Amino acid sequence: MSLILFSLPALEAMAGDIRRGCGATAGEYEMRHFPDGETYVRVLSDVAGAEVAVLWQLHQPDSNVLPLLMLVNTLKDLGAKRVGLVAPYLAYMRQDKRFHAGEGISQRYFARLLSQQVDWLVTVDPHLHRISALSEVYTIPALAMTAVEPMAGWIRTHVTNPVVIGPDGESEQWAASVAKAAGCPCEVLTKERFGDRDVKVSLPHVDNYRGHTPVLVDDIISTGKTMIQAAQHLMDAGLSAPVCIGVHGIFAAGAQQEMAAAGLKVVTCDSIADHTNAIALGPLLARGMKEILQ
Ligand code: R5P
């Protein structure tokens, strides 16, 4: 497969893993903002007739997506055969229904937008809750890889006598699989959400897990409230401070400070560049790209 990979500079380490994993070459481009904030793009590599992939971060999508679309459209204009998107974190997956009258279903609109712009998509652990597959909203080939194995590998190497804990019902799909792959027990809590920053988590059956190291596993850490509440219950019940693993560390303003103040050790996969990144997803994404391009 002859493939040119363009990458956001913040994801260069992951891009290197992907290039090695699927034999891609690095695409060269310049991107900056004009003084008025609009995006300037210049592609320096010859992409005419080439299979092209763009590795991009989609957290804070309202500011990150337009530069991506400028790059994708430039690549197409310059004659790329196909342009695929490698988005380790897929944004706008959580507003997947009309919760209140008059609300938009942003998951569908975002999926429609990306489907119109790129030829294929590879991502990791998108928040599939009320839909079970990306194909329900994306009309392009869209492949969801899972970080279960990389997370389980990290737990096996770094945690003594772990018990994996899912902080809410939605996390069960990851927690149970991660625990199985790591060869350790699993507990899933229940969560009630009263507002963006107001959640309440149930008490687990802690007596079974004294002497274990709790490892909270969730797909997304945003405000950090879900992790903090779950951790607090575990610690109040006499368990040690848990390790918190998020596939995607979005970290809304103040989240990391609040989690640090609560005494939590936070580890994330590198889908969003951050100092908490400890679990590399590049090899997984390279496998996904090979699969979608074969
Ligand atoms: C819920 O739908 C997700 O799986 C996460 O539990 C949630 O996004 C975490 O959000 P926060 O960090 O704001 O509690």
- CA of residue 236 to ligand 1 center, whole Å: 21
pTM, rounded to two decimals: 0.93
Listed residue (155, 130, 123, 125) closest to 57, CA to CA: 123
1 pLDDT above the threshold of 60:
no
Assigned domain for 230 exists? yes
Instruction: Let me know whether 125 and 178 are in one domain.
Output: no
Q: Which two tokens stand for residue 174?
A: 């990851």
Q: Which two tokens stand for residue 76?
A: 């197409």
Instruction: Let me know whether 264 and 194 are in one domain.
Output: yes
CA torsion through residues 67, 69, 74, 75, sign: positive
Structural domain including 79 reads 3-146+281-293
Assigned domain for 210 exists? yes
Phi then psi for residue 197, to 5 deg, are -120, 25
Share of the chain above pLDDT 70, in %: 96
The residues lining ligand 1, judged by C-beta closer than 6 Å to any ligand atom, are 94, 168, 170-171, 199, 218-226
Pocket probe for ligand 1: among 190, 221, 266, the residue whose CB has the most ligand atoms within 8 Å is 221
Q: Please, what is the angle between helix 282-293 and helix 12-22, to 10°?
A: 50
Assigned domain for 275 exists? no
Atom from ligand 1 closest to the CA of residue 222: 12
Q: Which two tokens stand for residue 6?
A: 């363009």
The pLDDT tens digits for 7-46 are 999 999 999 999 999 999 999 999 999 999 999 999 999 9
Is 265 marked active-site?
no
Assigned domain for 161 exists? yes
Instruction: Let me know whether 68 and 183 are in one domain.
Output: no
Instruction: Let me know whether 25 and 132 are in one domain.
Output: yes
197 pLDDT above the threshold of 90:
no
Whole-number pLDDT of residue 168: 82
Instruction: Let me know whether 171 and 243 are in one domain.
Output: yes
What length is written for the chain?
294
Instruction: Say how many domains are in the chain.
Output: 2
- CA of residue 171 to ligand 1 center, whole Å: 9
CA-CA distance, 182 to 253, in Å (whole number)? 32
Q: Model confidence at 208, in pLDDT bands (50, 70, 90)?
A: confident
- CA of residue 255 to ligand 1 center, whole Å: 12
Phi then psi for residue 146, to 5 deg, are -125, 140
Q: Model confidence at 85, in pLDDT bands (50, 70, 90)?
A: very high
Instruction: Let me know whether 197 and 213 are in one domain.
Output: yes
Angle, alpha carbons 63-68-74 (nearest 5°): 140
Whole-number pLDDT of residue 203: 60
Among 146-155, 186-195, 210-219, 224-233, name the one with the lowest average pLDDT: 186-195
Instruction: Let me know whether 188 and 211 are in one domain.
Output: yes
Whole-number pLDDT of residue 275: 97
Instruction: Let me know whether 142 and 252 are in one domain.
Output: no
Instruction: Let me know whether 11 and 139 are in one domain.
Output: yes
Assigned domain for 276 exists? no
The pLDDT tens digits for 124-176 are 999 998 999 999 999 999 999 999 999 999 999 999 999 999 988 778 878 99
- Three-state secondary-structure class, residue 212: coil
The pLDDT tens digits for 174-184 are 899 999 999 99
Average pLDDT, the chain: 94
Instruction: Let me know whether 134 and 166 are in one domain.
Output: no
CATH of the domain at 232: 3.40.50.2020
